Amino acid sequence: MQPSFWHEKWDAQQIGFHLSAVNPLLVKYWPQLELDTNAQVFVPLCGKSLDMCFLAEQGHHILGCELNELAVQQFYRENSLPFEVSRTAEHQRFHTEQVSIYQGDIFSLDASEMLNTTAFYDRAALIAWPEEMRLAYANQLANLIPDNSVGLLITLDYPQAELNGPPFAVSDDWIQANLAANFKIERLACEDVLADNPRFVKKQVSWLTESVYKLTRKG
C-alpha cells in the first residue's frame, strides 16, 4: 500500500472508512481498559476520526499519527479546534490543548515522542495494511508504545478472496500468531456485522465479522 494510494483517496475525499459519529464499539469497550482520566492515548493512522474527540472528552490526551495533511487540517477545522503547527525531524506536529497529531509516516515516528503514552486505539489501522505489510506495522506499533500500555484493536474478518481490501481481512488466527510475542491478547467481542455493511452485501461477501481486542504491551 503506497502513500500515494491514501493521498489520492483524501484528495478525492473518497473516505468511506470515515465515520460521521463516534464508533459505538469504542464507547462500549473503552471503559474496560480502566485508564486514568489524563492518560495519553496513541491513535495510529488516525485520519480525521471523531473517536479522538470522544477520547479527549474522557479527559485523555491524544497523540495521533496520520500521513495525509488534508486529513489533519480537516480534523481540526471540522471540530472548530484552533491549532498550532511545529516541525519535528520527520513530521509536522499539529497541536491543540488535548490533541496532537504527527503528520507523516508512522514508520519514521520515533518512540521518544511517546514516552508518556499509556494507551492506544487502533480502528481501521491494522486492517488498512495488506498482509505483506501488516506485520511491519504491528511491530512498529509495539516499538512505539511503552511497555504495559493497553489498547483497543478493532478488526474485520471476511473471505479475502471475495473482495479486495482495504479494509483487509484479519483473522483471529493471524492476531494470535503474529501479535502474541509483543502483546497479551484478550478478545472482548466478535460480532456478525454483514447486514450493517452495504458494500460487502452488494459484493455478495458471504460473511463479515468485527472483533474487538484488548491488547497489553508486554514488558
Ligand X SMILES: C[S@@+](CC[C@H](N)C(=O)[O-])C[C@H]1O[C@@H](n2cnc3c(N)ncnc32)[C@H](O)[C@@H]1O
> Could you list the residues that contact ligand X (CB under 6 A)?
6, 17-18, 45-47, 49, 65-68, 71, 105-107, 123-125, 128, 166
Give the shortest CB-205-to-ligand X separation in angstroms.
Answer: 18
CB nearer to ligand X: give 168 or 174. 168
Least spacing, CB of residue 23 vs ligand X, in Å: 7
Identity of the residue, 77 or 218, whose beta carbon is nearer to ligand X in the bound complex: 77
- Round to whole Å and give the CA distance between 125 and 120: 11
Q: Which three cell numbers stand for residue 94?
A: 499539529
| Amino acid (one-letter) located at 53 | C
| β-bridge pairing 40-44 and 117-123 | parallel
Nearest to 209 by CA among 187, 197, 196, 192: 192
Least distance (Å) between residue 219 CB and ligand X: 26
Q: Rounded to an integer, what distance in angstroms lies between the CA atom of residue 219 and that of residue 216?
A: 9
Return the number of the residue (167 or 175) whose C-beta is nearest ligand X. 167
- Ranked by CB distance to ligand X, the top (closest) residue is 47
For residue 133, what is the enclosing H or E element? helix 131-144
Least Cβ distance, residue 142 to ligand X (angstroms): 16
Comparing CB distances to ligand X, the nearer of 47 and 218 is: 47
